């Protein structure tokens, strides 16, 4: 156990000192590919700049899909029903060891369901556990709450399996024209499910072994774990009454639910758009009012900066690699050494 704690502290120190923000990392990758295209494919700086500019907006459809995934997953996690379940689960932990085991297990389950749902639900769960369990090492609790990201792309919200399952007609789908790979061969294949099961059973134990001695434990003051609350607004006008009514979101949710039932009865396949609609409908049906839903959306959009800033850079990188021939060269190199 001491070895695991030492290794975790070592890598934590490295990450804190050397790992930049993801936006900086995307900029660095942009210029690495820019230089690689000039040196490896004999392209001029002007050509590489044009390749970057031609590709920078090619992922707008995918960017919006990921944006909707983040918003709808986060909004669902903020419903009263989900919070009630998380509070009940948090009471199952009676000591710090059980707290870490439980947090990691729940984070992995939520992350498999949806990366966005998992991020918010796990954060809420960590807060409830910290309030309920005395003596839990809060930094490790937070780390275990993020462990769901280990498994998310093998789960229901994995963007690549969902994109190749249904052709959306966008740039990414055009890379595999006429080719669709069903989820039964990716997310729901026995190989992927086996790996997920192994991670689900082993990762909680690994986090349990990383619990520091009592004298190194860093607890958090429960009073600092306040929850953002909606402002209590008096209903004075008909518009206020409509906004605080559940009827608008309920009707829209039922409309979306009816469409989904018809869609699946007709043999429709699950893709990224379908999954987003499922989370959208679920959030609409579970929030108690239109105001509650909009409040949750406003909270969710605060986390969109990474997608808005980084995805155009990733698209530019993809444009440089594809048009310069660098992508083909890298693929050929891997084929030759395999």
Residue 216 in contact with residue 156, Cβ under 8 Å?
Answer: no
How far is 306 from 308, CA to CA, in rounded Å? 6
Average pLDDT, the chain: 89
Among 120, 133, 141, residue whose Cα is nearest residue 90: 133
Residue 268, pLDDT score: 84
pLDDT band at 52 (very low <50, low <70, confident <90, very high): very high
pLDDT band at 20 (very low <50, low <70, confident <90, very high): confident
Residue 232, pLDDT score: 58
How far is 238 from 245, CA to CA, in rounded Å? 10
DSSP single-letter state for residue 234: -
pLDDT band at 149 (very low <50, low <70, confident <90, very high): very high
pLDDT at 191 over 90: yes
Residue 87 in contact with residue 298, Cβ under 8 Å?
Answer: no
Give me the residue spans of the domains in the chain: 79-222, 239-319
pLDDT, average across residues 140-159: 92
Residue 66 in contact with residue 292, Cβ under 8 Å?
Answer: no
Residue 140, pLDDT score: 93
pLDDT, average across residues 88-117: 95
- Rounded-to-10 torsion of CA 44, 48, 51, 53: -120
Mention every residue, 6+ apart, whose C-beta is less than 8 A from residue 232.
none
pLDDT band at 74 (very low <50, low <70, confident <90, very high): very high
Residue 173, pLDDT score: 64
Residue 76 in contact with residue 82, Cβ under 8 Å?
Answer: yes
Instruction: Please spell the DSSP secondary structure of 100-161, one letter per residue.
Output: HHHHHHHHHHHHHH-HHHHHHHHHHHHHHHHHHSTT--HHHHHHHHGGGGGTGGGSTT-HHH
Indicate the pTM of the whole model.
Answer: 0.84
Q: 287: buried, middle or exposed (CB in 10 Å: 19+, 13-18, 0-12)?
A: buried
Quick: pLDDT tens for 197-250: 999 999 999 999 988 888 888 888 766 666 655 555 667 778 778 888 889 999
Residue 262, pLDDT score: 96
Quick: pLDDT tens for 271-325: 889 999 999 999 999 999 999 999 999 999 988 888 888 999 999 999 999 999 9
| Measured CA distances, 277 to 80, 145, 160, 164, 284 (Å) | 20, 26, 17, 18, 10
- For 19, the token pair is 């790992």
């Amino acid at each position: 156990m001491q070895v695991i704690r030492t290794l975790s502290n070592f890598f934590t120190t490295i990450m804190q000192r050397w790992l930049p923000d993801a936006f900086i990392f995307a900029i660095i990758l942009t210029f690495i590919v820019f230089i690689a295209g000039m040196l490896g494919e004999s392209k001029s700086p002007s050509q590489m700049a044009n390749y970057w500019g031609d590709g920078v907006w090619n992922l707008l459809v995918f960017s919006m899909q990921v944006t909707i995934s983040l918003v709808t997953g986060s909004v669902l996690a903020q419903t009263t029903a989900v919070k009630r379940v998380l509070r009940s689960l948090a009471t199952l932990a009676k000591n710090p060891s059980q707290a870490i085991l439980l947090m990691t297990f729940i984070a992995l389950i939520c992350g498999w369901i949806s990366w966005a749902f998992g991020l918010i639900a796990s954060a809420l769960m960590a807060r409830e556990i910290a309030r309920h369990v005395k003596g839990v090492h809060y930094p490790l609790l937070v780390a275990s709450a993020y462990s769901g990201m280990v498994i998310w792309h093998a789960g229901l919200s994995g963007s690549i399996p969902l994109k190749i399952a249904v052709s959306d007609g966008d740039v990414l789908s055009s890379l595999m024209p006429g080719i669709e790979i069903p989820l039964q061969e990716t997310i729901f294949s026995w190989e992927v499910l086996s790996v997920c099961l192994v991670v689900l059973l082993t990762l909680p134990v690994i986090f349990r072994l990383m619990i520091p001695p009592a004298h190194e434990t860093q607890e958090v003051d429960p009073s600092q774990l306040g929850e953002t609350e909606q402002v209590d607004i008096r209903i004075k006008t008909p518009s206020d009454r409509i906004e605080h009514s559940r009827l608008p979101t309920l009707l829209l949710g039922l409309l979306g639910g009816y469409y989904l039932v018809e869609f699946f009865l007709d043999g429709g396949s699950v893709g990224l758009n379908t999954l987003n609609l499922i989370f959208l409908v679920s959030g609409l049906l579970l929030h108690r009012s239109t105001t509650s839903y909009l409040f949750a959306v406003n909270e969710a959009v605060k986390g969109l900066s990474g997608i808005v800033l980084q995805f155009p850079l990733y698209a530019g990188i993809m444009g440089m690699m594809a048009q310069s021939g660098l992508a083909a060269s890298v693929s050929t190199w891997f084929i030759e050494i395999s």
